[in-house]
Structure 1
């Protein structure tokens, strides 16, 4: 009975357990899923205010596996906020009990979708999900015990919408896959493996593999962000910071370690790599790129936040083009692109621990720079390509040396090379500079700002060494030693379009510059073949004043203030000290013009050699000058002496030897009112100034001097110069003058030019004894001996003119110092009708020569042709018919005759008319008239020499004249007397 009773109890217990299990199973498999499916959406809507839906729920109460399918949570406007296809969780109950924690074998979320949006005000679409709860705000430091063996998210999707920026943006991240293994909140220093991959719909991938720990918070692994378009980075995250259009792709990958311990965040990076490919920056998408770069790469990145260390193996960039400009206001275009600090912002306090930065090498290859200066009326564009830069072992450690090399081609023809070492802290640099063939014409617009001058050609070169160091006063100490050169300089003034200043080569060697000390020195300034065009204008100003452009910013009201400000600023700076060993001029030249004279004067100085030495800012310095050249390619010029520019003392000797005086005729007109027809002058001037007192001597030697025509000048000295010259000549025909002058430079009435003029007038006045025009009276003649008359078209002396020449010869014999000049003359109106017959005859000879040459054989020139009487008549008839066809006709027998007349080619009347008409149409020939004038001059000269007994050396035939000025209508050749 007991057994049966016991069995009965067991059966009852089994039935009860089975029933309970059945009830549990029914509740788990059916009731609970139904309740969750029906109540969960309502609960979610109650808590969030948003509608939710759930397609299916399954639960295994025995294995504690829960699955939710088809969940969706909507936004207030009905759009989906989040949804997923399937959520699965597998709880290990036994392990949970044994570990006193929630142990989950697996959590998976399949195809979740989340939509995140931000409105204009910057609020997110999930803001309303977070409700205020004071109790929830209380800090609860207890960590829920949780262990998850495996957590995964598969094929997740994130839709991002942002209208907060000026340009609304959308982006889709798909797929998102996340795997985490051995996640726990219990064990300290227990890390979980994880992997995260995702892709942006617009391009780019993230691959993040590593481990993560929660106690303490830490992570390590490798992260790679590849092929991310820069426009998307800017559009999604940097619109407020970066206003420019960015193009290109980014790569970032690195091994990292990070943790958060004792309220400190530490991170370190190893083997990092960052790349930009096909990089471009533009102000807007429609503008041309400001920066284009094929590739920028940073490799071997090491970073330690705790130790403040950054190490980089290499930085490289290649094939870049950069465009920059100064706008009209002088602002660099990149300055406007940089973010501006907000007004009132508190500056960030400097870090206490400095960073240690090291870079193995930096290489820039094939860079290009195009710079445009738009501040000028005509913008200037400067280009530099290729630019190659190499730096090694960069470090900001104090005293670390940084070797570098820079090579750049400038404006296609020039080049710049820098090679040296630099130290960042304290700042210093030592570098070699080599600049070659920088074309100066590219800088024309800068010249236009201050000079009306065109730079046609010229190149700049500089070589030397530059030293830069930061002084104790936090100022830069800059020094330079080396050489500079400007070759093939050619400038042309814009007013006359003529060469202004030019040279073949200018070299400044042995340069030593110390900017901090304001000291400048050089050994030699050599100028090879320099040239300058100097013009003294009518108002006594020099043409340099026309070339230079006055500063329009200087106005009368501001002038004094500007001067005072300049003096005040200058007083704070030490006076510059300069020293130049010597200036060497090789084969210099100049075109000099003085338009202020009554007769404008021009001269050329060539073959100028020599220079100056001992040029210095020393107040006691004395400059030594030694120059040699030639004036007009004829007269040697020597300049020697010493000048004390600061003391005002000088001792200079200037010597001109054999100067052709007609070439300086303008100055003679200014002094005496006469041109110079002939003569050579040797002039030695010695001027000494000591203690403001002038002592000078002027030694003048004039050989074969002859005055030219008189020029009206009211300021000229009033002297009978013709007679003075004749009487001042010695037996050799030379005039010697010694003109000493003295005076005080402090005398307000002192003028060197006036003193010299007075001294010359006094010297000349002493030797004047009788008037020059009394020559004829010496022989008792009252005839006008200045002209010889001729018959029209003739060069034969008449008896009356022979008588005048006899009287002239007698007068010349009494004054052996006088020479006779003969200027043969012819007059077109009177002489040409008489010589035109010869011109007609020569024309017929040319026609005959042409006929002979057409027949072939030996060629003959017209002047060698002999015309017979028969040919003369034939050619005359032929030429007359050709020139006057309306005046002739043919007779019945075919003979040529004059119209309206019986005169034909058989009569002299025909040829007389033909000759008269043909001669009349021949234009006067200047050379034939000059020949007639020359014959008349020769006839006069021959008679004076052969019959008058005057030495041939005293007779000069001048250049002939056609229609010279004369009194009356006489056909005369002009005679003039000049002293030998």
Structure 2
């Protein structure tokens, strides 16, 4: 019975266990999946407000394997949010029990799909899933023990939709495959991770590594391959970077990452980053800009202008430590990169508007000070690069190209004092070459660079010349060689210095007005340059100019051709003395040891003259020395050349422009005067037939006062034909020329001038003209003084003196006439004019006796004619002494009856006197009284003047041997203006 009782107990136990197993089986295989399938969507809807569905739920209660299939979670609008085809979990119960942790042997998620979307306001489509009100409070200090032996994700898919940016974007990541082994929440355990995913637009991520959760750490290898830059910009940067990016990137590196004690650190080694087929362009160009692009401009497929093209950029050997702020790179290399840049009309660089603008941080949110980064790069190399730059600030934009650009920098480091050796070279505008070779230090900033520039053509910079001159730069090449040093000063202002040489060869310009050569030279070399830009100091040893040339034209309105070519300065004052407001300390300081000129030349034209004038100066050699901004410095000038290939020109002097002091001597020797006929026509209305001129000009300016000495020597000078010029000086120039010539046929003139530069009417041209007129006028006003000087005489040969009433030459006057004859023989072109003169006050008393005698002759003639017979003219009457006394008595008694009375004998006597007709006293008184009442006879005085002129002429011609055709007697003059009371006849000179 006891055995039956025990058996019954086993049966009951077995029945119970069987029942429990049955119930467990029913619950596991049927009831639980049914409940999950039916209740899970409702629970999700209750918690999230979103609809969800599960196609199939399977659970093996014995193997603890869960399988969900066909799961979908929708968004509120009905779109799919999350879904998967199959989710499989294999729980290891025994291991879970033994390890006291949930141990899952395998988790497989097949074909999961998730859609992430962001709206225009930046809100994500899963925002409503995270509500703080419904979140369960958990003790973060406790971690649920979990160990997943293997987790697989197969053919996952992520759909990304972003409407937050200006241009909405979509992207799909598919397939996503991941393998995770030994995923655990236990400390000091690491998982093994393998992940790969691909972008639908192109690009792939591969990640292999290890990771731990406690502490958080990871290490492994990550690789990004063929990720398109355009997608990176569109998906993350389109509103930050106004650039269109084309090309793809590759990134590969080994890494270690840890998060311990709230500190995150990343170590990267064996890093490699590459960009392929990079093209960068502006995303938006206005219509005007698109129309302005040239045919040579490289366009993006979308029609945008490519700013940067780079077939490959390679960064190799990247080593990175986030915590220590260390970055080391073995090499950075780029080949065939091409850059395009331009300066916009408003003066901004095109890249400025394309790059993101850094926001000013709030002072209250200033980041904590961090340790500076240490950056080391073994090699930076750029090969065969190119740069095209266009300056659109100009009316006619200028394009400059630099290609090929080769750059190499070794051992780059931002550590203080680290030396950075580098080499840079590039072609410039196809013909030029620029080379830089030097060392630089980043902190503190300094650099020592050897500079070499060759063959830079100046004609490419024509548009810059157009801003201030109507001048075409036809040719010219610039070369520079030297050393540049840059040192950061205490005031954080870099001190920049240059020492070396520069040269401009084959320089040629033509003015746009006449299209003629304006300024040119064969070579201009500035050597021994020592420039300090920060101190505004510039020094050089020598400036050598070979074959310089300049064309100078004075136009009809007397303005110079420079006025037409050079644009006026916009702020230049028209009146008054301009004084710069620039502080003395900021004014540039300079010194140039010497300017050397070889084989210089110039074309000079003066079109303001009646007859236009042109001259050439050639073979100009010499130099200028001691040029300096020092106030007391004096510039020394020493130049030699020749005019017209015939006349040597010598210029010497000293100039101090800072103090307004000038002392310059200019000598011209043997200048052919017919070549400067235009100036003679302008000055005096005559051309020049013959002659050579030498000039010694000395100009001094001190205290704003000009003092000049002009010594002129003219040899064999002959005037040519007369040219009508209403502005010519009114001077008998031919006479002046004849008088000014010495015995050798040379004219010597000393013409001093002086004037104040402060005088608003100051004009050097007027001063010289006035001085010349004065010098010539002195000769003209004293021609006989000049004539006498030819024979070394001091006599005044302009007058010949006579006794009162006489035309006889005395010994002294004959001597003067002999000197005059001698002088006239030296000047065959001179003609002598004689103007006989008589002076009533002195000559009439002397000739009144003759008038009285003629009156007596007329009385006698009347008596004879009354007697009948042949008539007789008074001039043929001969009066005897007896008739003379009789007629005198008769006429005196008739004119002065109260002065005579008759004696007892019937003769006449003077009243109150015993003097009668028998005494000389009577006749003397009668003669005086009768002569006094005779009115001066003009004709008799003219006759006397004519006799005097004839006497002079006879002596000059008959005794002196001067040809009669050179001597002219002018009309006589009565009482002409004279100096003193001397009775003179006037002489004058004339040249036809």
Give the structure-2-normalised TM-score: 0.74
Deviation at 1:401, TM superposition (A): 0.6
- 1:359 is matched with which residue: 372, 377, 397? 377
- Offset at residue 656 of structure 1 (A): 1.4
Alpha-carbon separation, structure 1, partners of 2:713 and 2:705:
27
Count of aligned pairs between the two proteins: 775
The equivalent residue for 1:837 is: none
Q: 1:756, CA displacement in angstroms?
A: 3.1
Correspondences of 1:59-458 after superposition (within 5 Å): 59-133=59-133, 136=136, 140-186=140-186, 188-284=187-283, 285-342=302-359, 348-349=366-367, 351-458=369-476
- Native 8 Å contact 1:113 1:156 kept in 2: yes
Instruction: List per-residue Cα deviations over 1:582-604 (Å, max 9, x = no partner).
Output: 11111111111223333322111
**Alpha-carbon distance in 2 for matches of 1:508, 1:555:** 33
Give the Cα separation in 2 of the matches to 1:653 and 1:641.
Answer: 6
Residue 723 (structure 1) aligns with: 735
* 1:768-826 Cα deviation digits (max 9, x unpaired): 35999xxxxxxxxxxxxxxxxxxxxxxxxxxxxxxxxxxxxxxxxx9786699xxxxxx
Residues 307-316 or 32-41, more deviating: 32-41
Q: How does 1:697-776 map to 2 (within 5 A)?
A: 697-732=709-744, 734-739=745-750, 741=752, 743=754, 745=756, 752-754=767-769, 756-758=771-773, 760-762=775-777, 764-765=779-780, 768-769=783-784
- My pick for the range that moved more, 138-147 or 321-330, is 138-147
Instruction: Give 1:600's match in structure 2, choosing from 590, 612, 622.
Output: 612
Would the alpha carbon gap of residues 84 and 134 (structure 1) be closer, same or farther in structure 2, given more than 3 Å must change?
A: closer
| Change over 3 Å in CA distance of 1:677–1:329 after alignment to 2 | same
Please, which moves more after superposition, 227-236 or 27-36? 27-36
How much does 1:151 deviate? 1.1
| Residue 685 (structure 1) aligned with residue 697 (structure 2) | yes
Measured in 2, the distance between the counterparts of 1:572 and 1:725 equals: 55
Distance in 1 separating the partners of 2:181 and 2:703: 104
Secondary structure at the residue paired with 1:290? strand
Q: CA deviation at 1:256?
A: 1.1
Q: Structure 1, residues 151-184: CA drift from partner, whole Å, max 9, x if none?
A: 1111111122222222222211111111111111
Could you tell which deviates more after superposition, 615-624 or 750-759?
A: 750-759
- Is contact 2:706–2:755 with CA below 8 Å preserved after alignment? yes
Aligned residue for 1:136, secondary structure, equals coil
Q: Which moved more, 1:105-114 or 1:618-627?
A: 618-627
> 1:539-578 maps to which residues of 2 (within 5 A)?
539-552=557-570, 567=581, 570-571=582-583, 573-578=585-590
2:627/2:635 contact within 8 Å kept: yes
Map Cα deviations across residues 495-520 of structure 1 (whole Å, 9 max, x no partner).
Answer: 11111111111111111111222221
Aligned partner of residue 234 in structure 1, secondary structure: helix
Contact 1:192 1:211 survives alignment (8 Å): yes
Relative to structure 1, the CA distance from residue 209 to residue 681 in structure 2 (aligned partners, 3 Å threshold; closer, same or farther) is same
Larger mean CA deviation between 626-635 and 639-648 belongs to 639-648
| Pairwise CA RMSD | 2.9
Structure with larger Rg: 2
Q: CA deviation at 1:59?
A: 1.7
Q: Following the alignment from structure 2 to structure 1, what is the Cα–Cα distance between the partners of residues 54 and 563?
A: 94
Are the aligned partners of 1:737 and 1:763 in contact in 2 as well (CA < 8 Å)? no
Q: Cα gap change, 1:91/1:696 in structure 2, threshold over 3 Å: closer, same or farther?
A: closer
Is the 8 Å Cα contact of residues 726 and 818 (structure 1) preserved in structure 2? no
CA distance in structure 2 between the aligned counterparts of 1:220 and 1:555, rounded to whole angstroms: 75
Between 388-397 and 735-744, report the one with greater CA deviation. Answer: 735-744
1:616 to 619, 624, 628: 628
Separation of aligned partners in 1, 2:656 and 2:605: 29
1:40 CA displacement: 2.4
Measured in 1, the distance between the counterparts of 2:132 and 2:32 equals 31
1:363 offset after TM fit, Å? 0.7
Shift of 1:241: 1.5
The residue aligned with 2:813 is none
**Does the CA-based 8 Å contact 2:753-2:771 persist in structure 1?**
no
- Classify the secondary structure of the residue corresponding to 1:233: helix
Q: State the partner residue of 1:669.
A: 681
Deviates most, 34-43 or 84-93: 34-43
Q: 1:690, CA displacement in angstroms?
A: 6.3
Structure 2 distance, partners of 1:665, 1:738, is 19
Gaps of 5+ in 1: 773-813, 821-977
Shift of residue 14, structure 1, vs aligned partner:
2.2
Deviation string 1:409-432 (CA, Å, 9 cap, x unpaired) is 111111111110110000011001
> For residues 274 and 100 of structure 1, do their structure 2 counterparts lie closer, same or farther at Cα, with a shift above 3 Å needed?
same
CA distance in 2, matches of 1:979, 1:614: 53
Once the two structures are TM-superposed, the CA of residue 207 in structure 1 deviates from its matched residue by: 0.5
Separation in 2, partners of 1:161, 1:41:
26
Shift in CA distance, 645/563, structure 1 to aligned 2, threshold 3 Å:
closer
Shift of 1:125: 2.1
Query: 1:896-929, CA deviations, whole angstroms, 9 ceiling, x for partnerless residues?
Result: xxxxxxxxxxxxxxxxxxxxxxxxxxxxxxxxxx
- Say if 2:740 and 2:786, in contact at 8 Å, map to a contact too: no
For the Cα contact (< 8 Å) 1:697–1:738, is it kept in 2? no
- Measure the CA separation in 2 of the matches of 1:418 and 1:157: 54
Residue 74 of structure 1: CA displacement? 2.2
> CA separation of 1:135/1:611 partners in 2, compared to 1, >3 Å: closer, same or farther?
closer
- 1:667-712 Cα shifts (integer Å, max 9, x gaps): 2223322111111122223445667777654433322211012233
Structure 2 unaligned residues grouped into runs of 5+: 284-301, 788-823, 831-989
Tell me how far apart the structure 2 counterparts of residues 182 and 37 of structure 1 sit (CA, whole Å): 30
Separation in structure 2 between the aligned mates of residue 454 and residue 743 of structure 1, nearest angstrom: 41
List aligned pairs for 1:912-931, cutoff 5 A: none
On the 8 A contact 2:732/2:780 being kept in 1, the answer is: no
Aligned 8 A contact 1:373 1:381 in 2: yes
CA contact (8 A) 1:706 1:979 kept: no
TM-score (norm 1): 0.75
Partner in structure 1 of residue 513 of structure 2: 495
Equivalent position to 2:491, from 452, 462, 473: 473
1:695 to 1:44, Cα distance in 2 relative to 1, 3 A:
closer
CA contact (8 A) 1:741 1:759 kept: no
Query: Does 1:41 find its partner at 2:56?
Result: no
Distance 1:8 1:137 in 2: 52
Q: Does structure 2 retain, via aligned residues, the 8 Å contact 1:724–1:767?
A: no
Aligned mates of 1:632, 1:725 — CA distance in 2: 25
Contact 1:277 1:293 in 2 (8 A): yes
Q: Residue deviations 1:334-393, cap 9 Å, x none?
A: 001011245775575473311111111111111111111111111111111111111111
User: Structure 1 pair 647/114, CA: closer, same or farther in 2 (3 Å)?
Assistant: closer
Structure 2 counterpart of 1:875 = none
How far the C-alpha of 1:286 sits from its partner, in A, is: 3.1
Q: Deviations for 1:702-750, whole angstroms, at most 9, x for unmatched residues?
A: 2221101223344544333323333444454x21314163657589598
Cα distance 1:117–1:708, how it changes in 2: closer, same or farther (>3 A)?
same
92-101 vs 535-544, greater mean Cα deviation: 535-544
CA drift at 1:528: 0.7
Structure 2: distance between partners of 1:604 and 1:744? 30
SS, match of residue 136 in structure 2: helix
